[in-house]
Amino acid sequence: LVNVIVRPDVFREQKEVLVGARVLEVEGILQSVDEPAAAGQRTGARPVHVRALHVRPALAAPVPRSRWG
């Protein structure tokens, strides 16, 4: 997963896709990738941040519902 930064102008232009699509394909500029944890620090997934330039609905199979909800 990726944190997507959407500037107000992109939101205005592509609002329908941003709020209507269940899964997005995002073209943009990599803003940051956190450095790996140093020795002795907790490890785990590190967030990736991308500034969106263009979004569109992803052409993916439907996401199955969880058996818990």
Angle at 60 (CA atoms; ends 58, 62), nearest 5 degrees: 115
pLDDT at 15: 96
User: Would you say residue 7 has pLDDT above 70?
Assistant: yes
Q: In whole angstroms, what is the distance from residue 27 CA to residue 58 CA?
A: 11
What's the pLDDT tens digit per position in 12-55?
999 999 999 988 999 999 987 666 655 556 666 677 889 999 99
pTM of the entire predicted model: 0.63
Q: How, if at all, do strands 3-5 and 24-33 pair?
A: unpaired
Q: Where are the beta strands (DSSP E) in the chain?
A: 3-5, 24-33, 48-57
Of 28, 33, 32, residue with least CA distance to 55: 28
pLDDT at 41: 60
